[in-house]
Amino acid sequence: MIFLSLAVHLLVITIILVSIPTTSRHLTFGPAYSVQLVGSEVILPNNNSSLLKEILKTNEAANPVIIKRKITSNVFTPAKNQEISKLNIEKAVSAIRQTHRDKPDTSTLASAASQTKISESEINAQTKEYIGVVWSRVKKNWTMPQALMPKENIETIIDVKISRSGTLEYVGFEKRSGNRYFDDSALRAVKKSSPFPPLPYWIMDKNIEIGIRFHSEELR
């Protein structure tokens, strides 16, 4: 009787195990990869991101000196100034002949003729060169103790007038940073850099007006 009951129980358990469905098998042909699509909002930096701020600061620092007033120059344009240049050369020749009636000085004549002929591209190049010399001299004289350096990034702009001889005619603040020590250091740097190189000969104005931007990152 006991063996019969045991056989019945084994039979029932076997039927139950056979009736339970097994998990389906999946065929795989290689390793699986997860791909994430990247949208434009991920590629483009946020307006408040540190990367964009650094790019903007770099662009500002690239132009530390700003020309405040348009420079009046003696630009040579063949189509428009040919008659004027010819008249200037004739005047130079006449003056040279009056001074040296025996023999005209050809080197002086060539110099007078060359100074009446300067292109706009040459003026732009020489202007950038002169501004670069001014900023280089000012930056060299710009110092500030590290203990007084502001933690945040600040800037100040100084207005400057330079005469034809290179002397400093005017210096003052266009924009203050709010830090007195920082502003004073920038003002001292400009005054210490004077006198500056004389203005190029083709500038017809008595002086030039520029603005010099001082950014605290330049001292870090």
- pLDDT digit string (tens) for 18-71? 565 555 444 444 555 444 444 444 444 454 555 444 544 544 455 888 988 888
> Is the distance from CB of 202 to CB of 74 less than 8 angstroms?
yes
C-alpha gyration radius of the chain? 40
pLDDT band at 142 (very low <50, low <70, confident <90, very high): very high
Q: Residue 173: its pLDDT value, please?
A: 98
Please, what is the end-to-end C-alpha distance for the chain in angstroms? 98
Beta strands in 41-154 (DSSP E): 65-67
* 16 C-beta neighbours (distance < 10 Å), count: 9
> Between 95 and 121, whose confidence is greater?
121
The residue assigned the tokens 């702009």 is: 157
C-beta neighbour count of 5 within 10 angstroms? 9
Per-residue pLDDT at 56: 46
**Tokens coding 163:** 């005469």
Query: CA-to-CA distance for 196 and 35, rounded, in angstroms?
Result: 62
**pLDDT-based confidence at 8, cuts 50/70/90?**
low
Q: For 75-93, b where at least 16 C-beta lie within 10 A, e where not — what string?
A: ebeeeebeeebeebeeebe
CATH 3.30.1150.10 at 60-75+119-220, yes or no: yes
What's the pLDDT score for residue 55? 45
pLDDT at 118: 78
- Residue 94 CB partners (closer than 8 Å, separation 6+): none
DSSP reduced 3-state for 166: coil
**Sign, Cα dihedral of 90, 93, 99, 100:** negative
Contact 140, 194 (CB under 8 A): no
Q: What is the pLDDT of residues 143-176, one digit of tens each?
A: 999 999 999 999 999 999 999 999 999 999 999 9
| Structure confidence by residue, pLDDT tens digits, 105-131 | 544 444 444 455 678 899 999 999 999
